[in-house]
């Protein structure tokens, strides 16, 4: 959430930011209206408490003078009752205020280009050589079905559309990717591996920004629990309601989780294959950092995700998202897009974002520079390192051969028991 002081002192700045992102600027007006009610109620309560405190000091004087205190006590009780009523109403107003602020997205960093949608994203760099096969490249889902390593039909039989069964060397390749990604991030990039719960409370999803705005994209279970849409949610909440020792920053975590998403808005080709599944595997990297270094940390986090694609020798590009394509909680995002030969275009495989203190305010994650220092909000960052299913799909397409077989990237051969190809 945004700093309430910013919303109060610079509402026009926030409104401009919302317009650039394609959001309704009246969200600020709604917050302001409720905030005015909240502040007036707080002032009234403080005034009544001051009145009660002043009168309470008269009681010992009256008693010392052996005067009757009954009238004053009755008056104080009346004031106390009024305070209790106003405080109860203030709780409801506070909930309304929080709810209003929860729907206001983060403010984009000044370096983020203004644009209405993905067509306005800016390419930063490319890496790798795009292979030009002598045959017409097939899509990954067709390759996987013909090799017998993917079965959409069996997935649909078990759970419905947009679920897939990985079989044989396909299952082995998926696990090889997950383990390879974990090893690179822990052994080479210095991340601490954690295995979080795959379910979270609603409070956790509020903390990272999925709730309340994006509830339709989540799978809700009983007891107000949600299946994790990404490891970002449980891992970021490891430090919810904590004050971190500043000397321990940056804290860097890597976690594998299955991810569960309804993908309510997806359509067309994306509903086939592994691009937009309701369940998929992902390795996530998450950072908690000191605010002044967070944009340097974003560059290094992005490089850490890129290293996976480089080691797999998959051609990709890095794009900076414009304001209209930026995620709700992010202040700045780089997307990594890997090359898909069958479509003759790049497809997103990772988003690396700096949320500044937006998530930290929602989840109450702070740090102290020293024991005497005032607590400050950390900056949080995360990125896919990477989405295993999409990486699987990219390997099938980029390493396919004319005879229908698929070569195994050299970096994965040790994880595949020495297998060099799937045929």
Residues tagged active-site: 261, 276, 348, 351, 390
Determine which helix (DSSP H) or strand (DSSP E) holds 365, and give its type and residue range. strand 365-368
d(CA 41, CA 46): 9
Of residues 191, 104, 240, the one with CA closest to residue 383:
191
Q: How far apart are CA 385 and CA 339, in angstroms?
A: 17
Return d(Cα 287, Cα 109) in angstroms, integer. Answer: 18
State the Cα–Cα distance between residues 184 and 203, nearest whole angstrom.
Answer: 32
> Hey, is 347 helix, strand or coil?
strand
Instruction: Round to whole Å and give the CA distance between 208 and 245.
Output: 21
Reading across the β-sheet that carries 279-289, which strands appear in turn? 122-127, 316-320, 332-340, 345-354, 379-387, 279-289, 251-260, 192-193
For the chain, what is the radius of gyration of the CA atoms?
27
Q: What does the alpha-carbon distance between residue 78 and residue 291 come to, in Å, rounded to a whole number?
A: 48
**Exposed/middle/buried for residue 213 (C-beta within 10 Å: 0-12, 13-18, 19+):** middle
């Amino acid at each position: 959430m945004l700093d309430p002081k910013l919303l109060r002192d610079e509402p026009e700045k926030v409104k401009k930011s919302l317009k650039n992102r394609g959001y309704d600027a009246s969200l600020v007006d709604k917050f302001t209206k409720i905030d005015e009610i909240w502040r007036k109620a707080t002032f009234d309560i403080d005034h009544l408490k001051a009145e009660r405190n002043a009168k309470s000091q008269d009681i010992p004087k009256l008693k010392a003078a052996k005067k009757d205190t009954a009238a004053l006590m009755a008056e104080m009780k009346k004031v106390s009752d009024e305070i209790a009523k106003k405080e109860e109403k203030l709780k409801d107003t506070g909930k309304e205020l929080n709810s209003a602020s929860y729907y206001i997205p983060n403010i984009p960093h000044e370096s983020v280009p203004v644009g209405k949608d993905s067509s306005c994203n800016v390419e930063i760099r490319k890496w790798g050589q795009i292979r030009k096969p002598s045959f017409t490249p097939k899509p990954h889902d067709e390759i996987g079905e013909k090799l017998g390593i993917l079965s959409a039909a069996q997935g649909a039989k078990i759970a419905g559309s947009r679920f897939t069964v990985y079989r044989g060397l396909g299952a082995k390749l998926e696990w090889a990717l997950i383990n390879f990604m974990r090893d690179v991030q822990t052994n080479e990039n210095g991340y601490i591996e954690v295995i979080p719960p795959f379910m979270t409370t609603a409070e956790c999803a509020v903390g990272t920004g999925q709730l309340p705005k994006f509830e339709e994209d989540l799978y809700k279970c009983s007891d107000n629990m949600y299946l994790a849409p990404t490891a970002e949610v449980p891992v970021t909440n490891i430090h919810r309601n904590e004050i971190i020792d500043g000397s321990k920053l940056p804290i860097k975590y890597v976690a594998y989780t299955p991810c569960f998403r309804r993908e309510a808005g997806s359509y067309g080709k994306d509903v086939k294959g592994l691009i937009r599944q309701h369940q998929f595997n992902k390795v996530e990297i998450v950072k908690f950092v000191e605010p002044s270094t967070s944009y340097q940390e974003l560059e290094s986090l992005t490089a850490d995700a890129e290293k996976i694609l480089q080691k797999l020798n998959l051609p990709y590009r890095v794009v900076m998202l414009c304001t209209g394509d930026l995620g709700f909680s992010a202040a700045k995002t780089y997307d990594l897009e890997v090359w898909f030969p069958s479509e003759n275009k790049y497809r997103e495989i990772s988003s690396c974002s700096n949320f500044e203190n937006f998530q930290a305010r929602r989840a109450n994650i702070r740090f102290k520079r020293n024991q005497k220092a005032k607590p400050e909000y950390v900056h949080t960052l995360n990125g896919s390192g990477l989405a295993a299913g999409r990486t699987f799909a990219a390997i099938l397409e980029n390493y396919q051969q004319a005879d229908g077989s698929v070569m195994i990237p050299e970096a994965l051969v040790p994880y595949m028991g020495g297998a060099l190809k799937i045929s």
